[in-house]
Amino acid sequence: MITAKLISHPLVFKAPAGTSRGILKTKPTWFLILKHSLTGKVGIGECSIIPKLSIDDKPEIEEQLKQMVDLINKGQVPKVSDYKEWPAIQFALETALNDMAYEDHFSPYPGDFSSGKKTIYINGLIWMGDVEFMHRQIQEKLDEGFNCIKIKIGAIDFESELRLLKSIRDRFSAEQIEIRVDANGAFSYDDALSKLEQLAKFDIHSIEQPIASGQWKEMAVLCVKSPIPIALDEELIGVIDPGDKIQMLQFIQPQYIILKPSLIGGIAASEEWISIAEKNGIRWWATSALESNIGLNAIAQWVSSKKTDMPQGLGTGKLFTNNIDSPLDIRNGALEYNSKINWDTSMLKQ
């Protein structure tokens, strides 16, 4: 029999984080802990939502989690697919079950990454803010050895953002530093192409979600005309049916998609997106969605099992005052699993 326990653990940001959905100071998070009564194996999953972005950002999500825990404790382990309207719950249940299936704690997708044999190159994330703040972050990432940086744009005036990008290109070529930008839907369709043409002067690798999601026709036009490859991000959120996924990707035909398991239904859902994308000549990379090290670890282990050389968006572990201490570490622009560092298992005793 499997028993379950739910622990509420709201994540607290070290500094207010500017996102496309406003300023975040805390982030709702729960840990799902499963234990097999016969083998004693434990599995841990994370349910974590981004306010105003996750489709399961609803007051009743905690009640859904408690009901699921009650079901499990009554011997009725639900299927991950039972929670299609609750992608963050799907991610938590799926990864907890996977983790419990293996010998070691915190190893839902064991392999070369979790054994310390493989690292994952990641992009350095530059948060929205004033010009001075963003300049300082960029310099820090360069000093830390990142050769791929992702800059969120749309928070300050566009001319200042262009000058910021120019200052990077004046020092580093595209071969030295790859620049990704994320507009989070900040552009209007009417001026998007003009802005994309101005951004293209700085050898931008790709732009995420230049216009708001839900505008398939307009996004499809931009994907044809844009001088910068376009990556769909928010566009994937809430698209659940496989037929709808196929229809959307074939209609819009983006160059890339970005996978955030907590927002799109977990690892199996991400695999489904990859399968459809690859059949249509679309590349992908994965990004954590401000999870703690529990969720970040699961995503990293899964990504490591895939055949991809794209820098991933997995560097969120140091944002919080109350993150879970873990072997995850960043060195020279890569995420690594340092087996010399132990997980903090105190939460298991709560």
Average pLDDT, rounded, for the chain: 93
User: What confidence tier does 252 reach under pLDDT thresholds 50, 70, 90?
Assistant: very high
Residue 318's pLDDT is: 82
Q: Please report the sign of the dihedral spanned by the C-alpha atoms of residue 244, residue 236, residue 9, residue 36.
A: positive
In this structure, are residues 289 and 312 in contact, taking their beta carbons and an 8 Å threshold? no
CA neighbor of 196 nearest in space, from 156, 150, 165, 229: 229
The active-site residue out of 27, 141, 150, 152 is 152
Contacts of 139-147 with CB under 8 Å at 24 or more apart are: 142/172, 142/177, 144/330, 144/332, 144/333, 145/331, 145/332, 145/333, 146/122, 146/333, 147/176, 147/177, 147/178, 147/333
Average pLDDT of the residues in 63-69: 98
CATH 3.30.390.10 fits 2-100, yes or no: yes
Active site residue 152: yes
What letter would DSSP give residue 81? G
Query: Can you spell out the DSSP letters for 189-217?
Result: HHHHHHHHHHHGGG-EEEEE-SB-TT-HH
User: What confidence tier does 24 reach under pLDDT thresholds 50, 70, 90?
Assistant: confident
SS3 97: helix
- Tell me the C-alpha to C-alpha distance, in Å, between residue 97 and each of 28, 83, 240, 250, 299: 22, 15, 21, 33, 14
Average pLDDT of the residues in 3-26: 85
Residue 131's pLDDT is: 76
User: What confidence tier does 125 reach under pLDDT thresholds 50, 70, 90?
Assistant: confident
Active site residue 245: no
Residue 17's pLDDT is: 74
- What does the pLDDT look like over 231-245, one tens digit per residue? 999 999 999 999 999
Residue 80's pLDDT is: 97
Of the two residues 137 and 89, the one the predictor is more confident about is 89
- What does the pLDDT look like over 325-349, one tens digit per residue? 999 999 999 999 998 889 988 876 6
Flag whether pLDDT at 316 surpasses 70: no
Strands (E), 63-141: 120-121, 124-126
Report how far residue 268's alpha carbon sits from residue 86's, in angstroms, rounded to the nearest whole number.
14
Q: Which helix (H) or strand (E) holds 265?
A: none
Flag whether pLDDT at 62 surpasses 80: yes
Cβ count near 263 (within 10 Å): 26
User: What confidence tier does 315 reach under pLDDT thresholds 50, 70, 90?
Assistant: confident
CA neighbor of 122 nearest in space, from 254, 341, 296: 296
Flag whether pLDDT at 317 surpasses 90: no
> Which CATH superfamily is 120-349 part of?
Enolase-like C-terminal domain (3.20.20.120)
The active-site residue out of 260, 306, 340, 349 is 260
The domain limits of the chain are 2-100, 120-349
User: And the tokens for 210?
Assistant: 């230049």
Residue 154's pLDDT is: 82
